[in-house]
Chains A and B, each alone.
Chain A
């Protein structure tokens, strides 16, 4: 399971960065989304994967003694997903506006703000 996840994360990061390096705006957004998902999976993996051991303490004992599933990574991923939902929907609308205004999907065309004399 871990090995599979490791490969999946590597694939997500690699394809995300590859897509970002393409010149299309839409592919840029897809790349960012893939990269974000890769980061989320990485949190999930590095929080140690434990199956069927909820972090619930027995009323008799004071602390967990056995191995348990860490709830923190899940909370982190949930937060990260919610945030990236907002950011990505903004980015998609921005790309749409940019396409409308500049009438191009090519990122190389968006260089007027880098010129000295605009």
Chain B
């Protein structure tokens, strides 16, 4: 799909959608949203870009292999899940900071877990899509 409209739009859509995905990630604890949906939206941003400009262009934007996001995301999720074990609580118990942080709101281990999920989802989805489209 090499139309000029789509190509122009995709350059603006990419940052907008990534920002929107972060917004979705942060509101996710009490409202609809969260890491999984956010991650999917962010990867859709890159997919749209790759449709308009070709896979190689998108790869040059991302700079590193998206699969590398998987271990990072998993590590964050694992640490936030296992953190309660250090103080003798059960695995995955929500721990929260006392004071809310501006813009983000209350910060707790659930947010870190969601961030991990967000990164893993981006990594997995982009790896799958790049693999499928490469070998066609």
User: Interface residues, chain A, CB within 8 Å of chain B?
Assistant: 82, 86, 89, 92-93, 96
Contacts and interface: CB of A to CB of B under 8 A. Distances in A.
Interface residues of B, number: 6
Interface in B75-134: 124, 128, 131-132
B131 A93 contact: yes
B112 to A, nearest CB: 20
Nearest to B36: A82
A91 to B, nearest CB: 12
Contacts of A89: 128, 132
Contacts, number: 10
Main secondary structure of the interface of B (DSSP, over half): helix
A89 B124 CA distance: 11
A27 B135 CA distance: 21
Given A93-B131, A93-B132, 8 more contacts: A82-B36, A86-B124, A89-B128, A89-B132, A92-B132, A93-B128, A96-B132, A96-B135
A9 to B, nearest CB: 25
10 contacts: A82-B36, A86-B124, A89-B128, A89-B132, A92-B132, A93-B128, A93-B131, A93-B132, A96-B132, A96-B135
Interface in B38-88: none
Nearest to A92: B132
A93 B128 CA distance: 9
Contacts of A96: 132, 135
A92 to B, nearest CB: 8
A82 B128 CA distance: 14
